[in-house]
């Protein structure tokens, strides 16, 4: 039995879950999210909690059950608190700023890199080297942060590039004569 899957998803005050068949919708103060639960997992609303269980004892059903529970939990946390990722830009001349709904970055290329922010995601540039990505969908926040980081990954010799806040970059020793 899964340690994660057997725990029901507690729903805090101000959040209303709605279960109809395999579809789960969660409304909260920050917004509304929905997910379709896999057919091998049974979902029900019991005493104000969302309870998931496998429909059979097949290997796949037991594997997907905790994953579906985690997706529902992430939705509940997203509509109450939201998610955020912070990025740092390291390197001389590397900087970013917002122009409307577009993130414009100078990353040492011959051109500036422009990234249009998708709907439902908020990006803030505190100073020119700190980027904060926030939203209610954990998957989308992580995707946008990873996409921004991919424009200039940190390199191992000098550490220049875009990295997550607190990320450790393994440094290599340079060429010796």
We report the CATH number of the domain holding residue 121 as 3.90.930.12
Angle, CA of 29, 30 and 35, to the nearest 5°: 105
Domain match, 68 and 98 both: no
Domain match, 43 and 99 both: no
Domain match, 76 and 128 both: no
**Is residue 144 packed enough to be buried (19+ CB in 10 Å), middle (13-18) or exposed (0-12)?**
buried
Position 175 scores a pLDDT of 85
Inter-CA distances, 171 with 89, 108, 150, 154, Å:
17, 20, 19, 10
pTM: 0.89
Position 146 scores a pLDDT of 96
Q: How many folded domains does the chain comprise? A: 2
H helices of 14-87, in order, are: 59-80
* Cα distance between residue 124 and residue 95, in whole Å: 13
Domain match, 72 and 95 both: no
Q: Do residues 50 and 42 make contact, with C-beta atoms less than 8 angstroms apart? A: no
- What are the pLDDT digits (tens) for 71-93? 999 999 999 999 999 999 999 99
Position 176 scores a pLDDT of 84
Residue that finishes a domain, picked among 30, 52, 80? 80
Residue that finishes a domain, picked among 35, 54, 80? 80
Residue that finishes a domain, picked among 80, 113, 128? 80
Position 2 scores a pLDDT of 82
Q: Is 118 domain-assigned? A: yes
Inter-CA distances, 167 with 1, 47, 87, 93, 139, Å:
34, 41, 9, 21, 19
Q: Do residues 151 and 162 make contact, with C-beta atoms less than 8 angstroms apart? A: yes
Domain that holds residue 93: 83-164
Domain match, 115 and 148 both: yes
Q: Do residues 80 and 119 make contact, with C-beta atoms less than 8 angstroms apart? A: no
Domain match, 75 and 61 both: yes
Domain match, 116 and 155 both: yes
Q: Is 35 domain-assigned? A: yes
* Cα distance between residue 29 and residue 78, in whole Å: 10
Share of the chain above pLDDT 70, in %: 100
Q: Pick from 119, 118, 126: which is nearest to 98 by CA?
A: 126
The DSSP letter of residue 165 is: T
- Number of alpha helices (DSSP H) and beta strands (DSSP E) in the chain: 2, 13
Inter-CA distances, 43 with 110, 145, 148, Å:
53, 31, 36
Domain match, 55 and 22 both: yes
Residues of the chain with pLDDT under 50: none
């Amino acid at each position: 039995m899964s340690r994660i899957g057997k725990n029901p998803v507690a729903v805090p005050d101000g959040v209303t879950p709605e279960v109809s068949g395999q579809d789960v919708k969660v409304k909260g103060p920050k917004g509304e999210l929905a997910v379709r639960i896999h057919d091998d997992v049974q979902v029900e609303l019991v005493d104000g909690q969302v309870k998931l269980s496998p429909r059979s004892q097949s290997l796949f059903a037991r594997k997907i059950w905790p994953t579906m529970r985690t997706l529902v939990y992430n939705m509940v946390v997203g509509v109450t608190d939201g998610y955020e990722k912070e990025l740092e830009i390291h390197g001389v001349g590397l900087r970013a700023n917002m122009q409307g709904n577009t993130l414009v970055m100078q990353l040492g290329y011959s051109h500036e890199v422009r990234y249009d922010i998708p709907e439902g995601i908020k990006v803030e540039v505190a100073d020119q080297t700190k980027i904060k990505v926030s939203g209610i969908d954990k998957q989308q926040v992580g995707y946008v942060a990873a996409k921004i980081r991919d424009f200039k990954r940190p390199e191992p010799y000098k550490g220049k590039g875009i990295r997550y806040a607190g990320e450790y970059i393994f440094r290599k020793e340079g060429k010796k004569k």
